């Protein structure tokens, strides 16, 4: 994979970001978002007068000046009024979601599943430096680290936060498998990474977005589990695999219920086996990360 080129920061970007540092302009963006919320519709247009009435400014000339600074990057102007652009929409939702606030902590919470390293069922979910982590209280190994924005924590109890992260991880994996960045929807490039542990090699996808550079690590077994036939095989054996968070799925790997045999890394070709109640489901994964059941 060729590393993404470092982009120059255009003066346009500096000017656009600079234009946001003003209360009245942020109020204009909020007024447009509020109209969308009240009418439960996106891309709502507001007339000049409607917007002026929604913002606390003394004169129309002052208002006009501030609105002009937003038109282009954050607000689009049409014959029938003004609406948020995609960037304006992102900015306003970023503010509403509390992105500029620190993620709140929650009390360490015992979670299900067992440690892939020591096998004990002593997993704990916690916040560490604004990250969501699942670690083993027995051997103190960190099994999983994920982003945790303020909006995910603000109106949820500790157990609801943990559940929401569990749901979000599988959702992200579905996008990553198909080469879509969960953060910006840009194209993802994936390489295979091997980790040796206890005489066993575990493989993960190392997926990096070409556009926004964010990197994700996905166990190869999780890609297999996303296939309807694999989820169905689990289901037939009483396990709703995708309804349970990823750290509970780790148990299937730790106990060798799910095993992976990588034939070649370049191009990638692997077989994932799921052994339950004396039956075995086999799945091939190719270089495109396509999963095919082997009959």
Q: Which residues bind Zn ion (CB under 5 A)?
A: 115, 117-118, 136, 138-139, 181, 183-184, 186, 209, 211-212
Residue closer to Zn ion by CB (options 120, 167) is: 120
Q: Running DSSP on this structure, what letter comes out for residue 113?
A: S
256 phi-psi bin (left φ>0, alpha ψ -120 to 50, beta other): left
Residue closer to Zn ion by CB (options 72, 149) is: 149
Task: Work out how close the CB of 183 gets to Zn ion at its nearest, in angstroms, rounded to a whole number.
Answer: 4
Q: Measuring CA to CA, which residue among 68, 59, 82 is closest to residue 22?
A: 68
Task: Work out how close the CB of 254 gets to Zn ion at its nearest, in angstroms, rounded to a whole number.
Answer: 9
Task: Work out how close the CB of 291 gets to Zn ion at its nearest, in angstroms, rounded to a whole number.
Answer: 23
Residue closer to Zn ion by CB (options 73, 182) is: 182
Task: Work out how close the CB of 188 gets to Zn ion at its nearest, in angstroms, rounded to a whole number.
Answer: 7
Q: Determine the length of the chain.
A: 295
Cα-based distances in Å from 159 to 4, 136, 248: 38, 17, 15
Residue closer to Zn ion by CB (options 54, 202) is: 202
- The phi and psi torsions of 51 (rounded to 5 degrees) equal -70, -45
Residue closer to Zn ion by CB (options 17, 212) is: 212
The rounded distance, in Å, linking the Cα atoms of 274 and 254 is 12
41 phi-psi bin (left φ>0, alpha ψ -120 to 50, beta other): beta
Task: Work out how close the CB of 179 gets to Zn ion at its nearest, in angstroms, rounded to a whole number.
Answer: 11
Question: Per the structure block, which two tokens stand in for 135?
Answer: 């670690």
């Amino acid at each position: 994979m060729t590393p993404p080129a470092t982009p120059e920061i255009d003066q346009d970007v500096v000017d656009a970001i600079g234009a946001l540092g003003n209360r009245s302009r942020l109020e204009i963006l909020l007024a447009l978002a509020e109209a969308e919320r009240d009418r439960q519709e996106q891309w709502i247009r507001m007339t000049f007068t409607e917007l002026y009435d929604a913002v606390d400014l003394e004169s129309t000339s002052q208002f006009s000046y501030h609105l002009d600074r937003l038109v282009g990057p954050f607000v689009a102007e049409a014959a029938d009024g003004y609406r948020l652009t995609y960037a304006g929409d992102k900015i306003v939702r970023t503010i509403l979601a509390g992105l500029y606030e620190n993620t709140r902590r929650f009390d360490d919470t015992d979670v299900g599943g067992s440690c892939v390293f020591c096998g004990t069922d002593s997993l704990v979910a916690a916040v560490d430096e604004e990250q969501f982590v699942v670690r083993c209280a027995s051997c103190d190994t960190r099994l999983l680290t994920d982003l945790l924005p303020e909006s995910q924590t603000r109106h949820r109890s500790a157990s609801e936060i943990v559940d929401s992260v569990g749901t979000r991880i599988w959702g992200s994996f579905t996008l990553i498998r198909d080469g879509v960045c969960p953060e910006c929807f840009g194209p993802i490039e994936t390489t295979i990474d091997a980790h040796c542990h206890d005489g066993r090699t575990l493989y993960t996808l190392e997926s990096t977005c070409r556009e926004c550079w964010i990197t994700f690590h996905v166990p190869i077994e999780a890609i297999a589990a996303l296939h309807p036939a694999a989820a169905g095989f689990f289901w037939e054996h009483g396990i709703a695999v995708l309804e349970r968070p990823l750290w509970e799925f780790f148990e299937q790997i730790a106990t060798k219920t799910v095993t992976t045999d990588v034939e070649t890394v370049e191009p990638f070709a692997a077989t994932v086996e799921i052994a339950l109640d004396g039956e075995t489901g086999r799945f091939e994964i190719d270089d495109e990360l396509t999963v095919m059941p082997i009959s």
